[in-house]
Chains A and B, each alone.
Chain A
Amino acid sequence: MSAALSDTAAPAGGEAAPPAQAGGTSPGSGLLQVALALVLPVAILVAWHLATEGRTYSLIPSPSAVAVALYDLAFGGINDDAFSASLLTHVLASVGRVYGGFALAVLAALPIGLLIGRVPLVRQMLDPMLQILRPIPVTAWLPLAMIMFGIGPRSAFFLVFLGAFYPVLINTVFGVRSVEPRLFEAASMLGCRGSAQFVKVVLPAAMPAIFTGLRLGLGFAWVVIVIGEMTGVPTGLGALIMEARQLSRTEIVICGMIAIGVAGFISDRLVTLLGRRLLAWSPNHG
């Protein structure tokens, strides 16, 4: 005799494996995807090349000039000037500030967001002030930051922190506030009450929104880094761009832009991968 509530729901045989995760790309479409993604960049590169190559007085350097500059910036051996072989130093300096400021922003925004979302008293105390500070662009903070933190890396750190703080905070609050009330009922009738629900219900339920916030925050951190490094720091991709601009070395400016784009892209991929692992349960992430 079969046990009650047994087996009948499983597809014939009861041996069926759980359904495969949806959303994966079918094999063979990978190459096509890469090709599609390359169409526009290649077109731009060709147009850029045609518009600049061989024109001595072009203000915009040609792609090949940028490529040479990028090689020199990375490895040296061509120009042997102040920029040669300095790329790694600048990248590491920026990465340090981006992740440092970002980590600080997460450490502050996550608990504040959880509390604002769940504790009315905290919401009433903090929310109005945070909402008024929010529309102020990071650039507007620059003069004040330099007065408060001086010229140097601490200002850059602070600006990156500001840039990453709000996306993380707002998405955390949103995630916490949109937890289905049903889940609290389910938890409490199963014996999980009070503050235990914070860890066992609120945090996991808000995780998808929190991850969206982390992604946006890290993206903003990269956006803000150039501004942050305009505060007179000697190294960093932002500093590199500013210095190259002053020396009219536009090809170095473009190299800096490329480096920021690539670094930002890689760090976004890393967060996305982490999110996929942690959010395998979510039909929108897994």
Chain B
Amino acid sequence: MAEPTLPILSLSHVGKSYDAGGRRIEALRGANLDVARGEFVCLIGASGCGKSTLLRIVAGFEAATTGQALMWGKPISAPDPSRGMVFQDYGLFPWLTVRGNIGFGPASRGRPAGEVRDTVDRFVELVGLKSFADAYPHQLSGGMKQRVAIARVLANDAEVVLMDEPFGALDAMTRERLQDELLELWERTRLTVLFVTHSIEEAIFLSSRCVVMSPGPGRIDRDIPIELARPRDVSASDFNELRRELSGMLHSHHGRLAA
């Protein structure tokens, strides 16, 4: 086990450039970020400021062009089950049922069939999809698909859950419900969450820390601890104060872009 002071995730001077038709696009420059185990970190910022890029580097889908991303002090070089990704478009396997999708990770990692079955049962129950356990993804609503996507990552013993606008495509009511449930889950386990969102309210409601990014080139601008007591009330005055503050930061980016 790692010593308690070691951050679970550590990014130092992480940069990423893409070659897009001969043009070099600097998606991310000099990002420094330490995340302690059990933190709920929200990444927020204007479109194109490198949020997805940062998440994909942590996931191991992309290699950083400069700098280094570490998990428990070891360089991240490839995707790994310890870092599970929840995609906005779900990324479920359409040919597998809910059970099949949740069991995909454990089965791929060679767990014995009986153990896989138990794990699947537990997580199907956990995300409340018991009556849909044998349904295929195309038979599920968006909210249910996102539950499956979360369950399959948790069923695979992920320590870090990476979420890229996971609730962006859902209606407001489903989104609020999933936010509550995600928080409950996070509080019960010792999960570390890195959560990209466009919604300031969502960021303040969920996170223990809000990382504000700015575009052109994408970089980390501010790192704001959110110390409001939970459960949080979106209409409370301290909540609104934070909302105003964050909104001001984000709009100053927009202004700078427009200028």
Residues of A within 8 A of B (CB): 2-10, 14-19, 180, 182-183, 185-193, 196, 200-201, 204-205, 207, 279-283, 286
Contacts and interface: CB of A to CB of B under 8 A. Distances in A.
A17 B83 contact: no
A191 B80 CA distance: 6
A206 to B, nearest CB: 10
B128 A14 contact: yes
A172 to B, nearest CB: 16
Interface string B84-99: 1101010111111100
Nearest to A6: B128
B81 A190 contact: yes
Contacts of A14: 128, 130-131
Given A186-B87, A201-B93, A5 B138 contact: no
Contacts of A193: 78-79
B80 A19 contact: no
A17 B61 CA distance: 37
B182 A281 contact: no
25 contacts: A3-B126, A5-B126, A5-B128, A5-B182, A8-B128, A14-B131, A17-B131, A18-B132, A18-B135, A182-B87, A183-B93, A185-B79, A186-B87, A186-B92, A189-B85, A189-B153, A190-B84, A190-B156, A191-B105, A191-B108, A204-B95, A279-B95, A281-B96, A281-B97, A286-B136
A189 B181 contact: no
Interface residues of B, number: 54
A180 B94 CA distance: 11
Contact of B126 (A4, A183, A190, A200): A4
B232 interface: no
A16 to B, nearest CB: 6
A136 to B, nearest CB: 36
A204 B96 CA distance: 9
Contacts, number: 132
Interface of B: 59-61, 78-81, 83-85, 87, 89, 91-97, 104-105, 108-109, 125-132, 134-139, 141, 143-144, 147, 150-153, 156, 174, 177-178, 181-182, 184-185, 188
Contact of A186 (B78, B80, B93, B151): B93
A6 B150 CA distance: 12
Contacts of B129: 9-10
Given A19-B135, A185-B79, A8 B181 contact: yes
Contact of A185 (B61, B131, B147, B185): B61
Contacts of A191: 80-81, 105, 108-109, 156
A19 B139 contact: yes
Nearest to A18: B135
A7 B126 CA distance: 8
Nearest to B139: A19
A7 B156 contact: no
Given A204-B93, A205-B95, A281-B138, A187 B108 contact: yes
B108 A196 contact: yes
